[in-house]
Amino acid sequence: MELKSMVEKRVKEAENRLKDFRISREKLASYIDHTILKPDATEKIIERVAREALEYGFKSVCVNPSRVVMVREILKDSNVETCSVVGFPLGAHTTYMKARETEEAVKNGATEIDMVINIGWLKDGDYERVKEDIKAVVDAAQGNVVKVIIETCYLTFEEKVRATELVVDAGAHFVKTSTGFGTHGATPFDVALLSIVSDGKIKVKAAGGIRTYKDAALMILSGADRIGASRSIDIIKGIK
């Protein structure tokens, strides 16, 4: 069966299973990176989001680099991870800058890194350069989890496949669909595609536009191992 047909079959099966899907609030919360990346997010907002993560048991709090120290302090002595973005949201930083940004985030307490690939390099067909860009962040993360955002909204089917293969080859831990700042976010089709192509070698994070329990459940059934969301509480409260 050709790849596209396999993906379409996976999505159809996910849609059919949705009505019978059951998950506890605690289990669903463990999938979610509770995210606040708005440029106008104040200290008060960041603190609220971090404390929500503690209350609901989300997997991590994902913030911009300048908020890592603050979030780390709030989350200390808990099981909630501190996540920082790198090369965000365009991915067009130099490799050197991405690596240094990663080093500082880890030094400040980040235990997970969500980086953006250089989309232009991928479209140029400069695959080795894209892989080395990712690998530089993986190395700088010193064993901490690295999730690689390929920004699927800008990629062709073939480019999504190639990008996922590069993420695997570079030694990252997750391939992630979107920044949430592109033309659209995650789709069940893209999640299924990334999951099938990665073939269990790495995990898949769905992000962007996931606002309801139904959205999150469909992503999980399509192959997502992690969910990035800013409306995390609405998602949890959507469980009947």
Q: pLDDT tens digits for 25-69?
A: 999 999 999 999 999 999 999 999 999 999 999 999 999 999 999
Asked if pLDDT for residue 1 goes beyond 90, the answer is no
Residue with tokens 């606040």: 36
pLDDT, position 231: 98
Q: What is the mean pLDDT of residues 198-212?
A: 98
Given a contact cutoff of 8 angstroms between Cβ atoms, the answer to whether 146 and 174 are in contact is yes
With 0-12 / 13-18 / 19 or more C-beta atoms within 10 angstroms meaning exposed / middle / buried, residue 18 is middle
Mean pLDDT value of segment 206-210: 98
- Which residues are catalytic, by number? 114, 176, 205
User: Domain map of the chain by residue range?
Assistant: 3-237
CA torsion angle 230 117 99 63 (round to 10):
-10
Q: For residue 240, what pLDDT is reported?
A: 78
Per-residue pLDDT tens over the stretch 141-188: 999 999 999 999 999 999 999 999 999 999 999 999 999 999 999 999
pTM tops 0.75: yes
User: Under a CB-based contact definition with an 8 Å cutoff, are residues 58 and 32 in contact?
Assistant: yes
CA distances to 80, 111, 121, 145 from 194, rounded to whole Å, are 26, 24, 19, 18
Q: What is the pLDDT of residue 27?
A: 98
Distance (Å, whole) CA 170 – CA 132: 7
Q: Could you say which architecture CATH assigns to the domain 3-237? A: Alpha-Beta Barrel (3.20)
As a whole number of angstroms, the longest Cα–Cα distance in the chain is 52
Per the DSSP assignment, residues forming a β-bridge with 61 are 34, 82
Residue-level pLDDT at 198: 98
Under 8 Å CB-to-CB from 96, ≥6 apart: which residues?
Answer: 136
- State the average pLDDT over residues 214-224: 98
pLDDT, mean of residues 197-217: 98
Give the pLDDT score at 33.
Answer: 99
Mean pLDDT computed over 89-110:
98
C-beta of residue 199 within 8 angstroms of C-beta of residue 120: no
Backbone angles phi, psi at 18, to 5 degrees: -60, -45
pLDDT at 134: 99
129 close to 135: Cβ distance less than 8 angstroms: no
What average pLDDT does this structure show over 112-136? 98
**Beta strand 203-207 with 32-36: parallel, antiparallel or unpaired?**
unpaired
SS3 4: helix
Given pLDDT bands bounded at 50, 70 and 90, which one contains residue 21?
very high
Q: What is the mean pLDDT of the chain?
A: 98
Q: How far apart, in Å, are the Cα atoms of 76 and each of 50, 66, 73, 109, 110?
A: 11, 17, 5, 10, 11
